[in-house]
């Protein structure tokens, strides 16, 4: 089993009420890869500039991520994002985005990356997501993320990309904006009408909800007392969710989907405890499973007593 991901590979400068960092390793594909690496083989696709060092590559390689499809562009500049958060850590405010080497990137995947069973089109220009989707015809589970920038500047290519995937993973506000539908249940239904059979609505610290044709399952976020930087939480969620599903193979049943939601929640919770990739890069599988057990103990959905008829 293997997961291929295309998305931003970035330097992030981030300010939160708890500190700030300049040019940390980041990007949607990086946060996703680190999280998914606890469950399955991960192959990351995308360009970086000359400013991207072996030190950054090593963070991925130490977690066993296959980096052969990361292309270093001579004279190029790595994708750069600057953002900040107010006390409401659920909303990221973008101060600057520089596409750098992504502006003229034409993805050409190696046979190994094309052959992955699971594909994640992480947040990046929808046109690039479409090009990668077209090269991975055999993937049995394809998911996509995006953000307000692309909803507002590349809406049609984004809708075309969504029509080609099985699962959409977006923030609840992005789902509402994309569908122009204020009611989340209806908005999820609208997205499924375009093609996908699953929609995951991420709700920041409040958790995440999964909509399927005839099902609904929501998990709260873990009640953390130390949150420093939410950047990458969404991608870490997607990495835990899809990495676990990939590791199970075949068509996921309801139990696998619920456990995948649990692993997504757990990886996102570790991600926000430190800046950038610091926490997830140093994590162990034992810590991941221990936290999934805590989440299970805290939520105990199966234990809600049935009301008398």
Closer of 92 and 191 to ligand AMP (Cβ): 92
- Nearest Cα neighbor of 36 from 226, 230, 260, 188 is 260
Closer of 58 and 298 to ligand AMP (Cβ): 58
**Number of residues binding to ligand AMP, judged by CB under 6 A:** 19
145: tokens are 């993320």
Closer of 8 and 179 to ligand AMP (Cβ): 8
Q: Is 10 in the site for ligand AMP (CB under 6 A)?
A: yes
Q: Is 234 in the site for ligand AMP (CB under 6 A)?
A: yes
Work out how close the CB of 36 gets to ligand AMP at its nearest, in angstroms, rounded to a whole number: 13
Binding ligand AMP by CB under 6 A: which of 90, 97, 110, 130? 97
Measured CA to CA, the distance from residue 35 to residue 281 in angstroms comes to 9
Closer of 27 and 264 to ligand AMP (Cβ): 27
Please, what's the largest Cα pairwise distance for the chain? Answer: 70
The string over 282-297, giving b where at least 16 C-beta atoms fall within 10 Å of a residue's C-beta and e elsewhere, is: ebeeeebeebbeebee
Binding ligand AMP by CB under 6 A: which of 58, 103, 134, 149? 149
End-to-end CA, the chain: 46
Q: Is 103 in the site for ligand AMP (CB under 6 A)?
A: no
Q: Is 148 in the site for ligand AMP (CB under 6 A)?
A: no
Element (H, E) at 261: helix 254-271
Give the binding range for ligand AMP (CB under 6 A) out of 40-48, 69-77, 216-224, 228-236.
228-236
Binding ligand AMP by CB under 6 A: which of 26, 76, 100, 126? 26
Work out how close the CB of 233 gets to ligand AMP at its nearest, in angstroms, rounded to a whole number: 5
Write each residue from 71 to 90 as x if it is in contact with ligand AMP (CB under 6 A), else as -, in one continuous string.
----------x---------
199: number of Cβ within 10 Å? 23
Give the binding range for ligand AMP (CB under 6 A) out of 38-46, 50-58, 65-73, 231-239.
231-239
User: Strand order of the sheet with strand 208-212?
Assistant: 70-72, 41-48, 2-6, 118-121, 141-144, 167-171, 198-202, 208-212, 216-219
- If you search the block for the tokens 């059979």, which residue do you land on? 197
Binding ligand AMP by CB under 6 A: which of 2, 5, 27, 260? 27
Binding ligand AMP by CB under 6 A: which of 37, 113, 123, 179? 123
Measured CA to CA, the distance from residue 29 to residue 31 in angstroms comes to 6
Measured CA to CA, the distance from residue 233 to residue 271 in angstroms comes to 6
Residue 42 DSSP symbol: E
Question: Who's near 68: CB < 8 A, 6+ residues apart?
Answer: 43, 110, 112
Q: Is 262 in the site for ligand AMP (CB under 6 A)?
A: no
Please give the residue ranges that form the binding site for ligand AMP (CB under 6 A). 8, 10, 12, 26-28, 31, 81, 92, 97, 123-124, 147, 149, 231-235
């Amino acid at each position: 089993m293997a997961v291929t991901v295309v998305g931003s590979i970035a330097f992030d400068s981030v300010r939160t009420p708890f500190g700030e960092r300049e040019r940390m390793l980041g990007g949607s594909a990086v946060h996703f890869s680190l999280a998914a690496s606890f469950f399955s083989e991960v192959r990351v696709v995308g360009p970086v500039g000359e400013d991207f060092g072996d030190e950054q590559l090593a963070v991925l390689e130490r977690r066993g991520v296959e980096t052969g499809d990361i292309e270093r562009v001579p004279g190029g500049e790595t994708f750069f994002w600057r953002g900040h958060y107010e006390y409401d850590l659920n909303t990221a405010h973008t101060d600057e985005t520089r596409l750098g080497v992504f502006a003229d990137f034409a993805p050409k995947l190696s046979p190994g990356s094309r052959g992955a069973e699971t594909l994640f089109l992480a947040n990046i220009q929808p046109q690039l997501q479409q090009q990668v989707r077209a090269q991975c015809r055999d993937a049995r589970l394809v998911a996509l993320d995006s953000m307000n920038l692309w909803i507002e500047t590349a809406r049609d290519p984004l809708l075309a990309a969504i029509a080609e995937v099985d699962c959409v993973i977006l923030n609840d506000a992005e789902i509402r904006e994309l569908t122009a539908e204020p009611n989340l249940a209806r908005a999820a239904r609208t997205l499924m009408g375009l093609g996908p059979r699953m929609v995951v609505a991420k709700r920041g610290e409040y958790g995440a909800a999964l909509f399927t044709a005839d099902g609904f399952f929501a998990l709260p976020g873990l009640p953390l007392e130390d949150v420093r930087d939410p950047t990458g939480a969404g991608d870490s969620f997607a990495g835990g969710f899809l990495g676990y599903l990939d590791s199970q193979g075949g068509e996921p049943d309801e139990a696998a989907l619920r456990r995948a939601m649990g692993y997504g929640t757990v990886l996102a919770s570790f991600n926000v405890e430190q800046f950038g990739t610091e926490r997830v890069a140093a994590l162990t599988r034992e810590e991941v499973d221990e936290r999934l057990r805590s989440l299970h103990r805290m939520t105990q959905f199966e234990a809600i007593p049935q009301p008398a008829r």
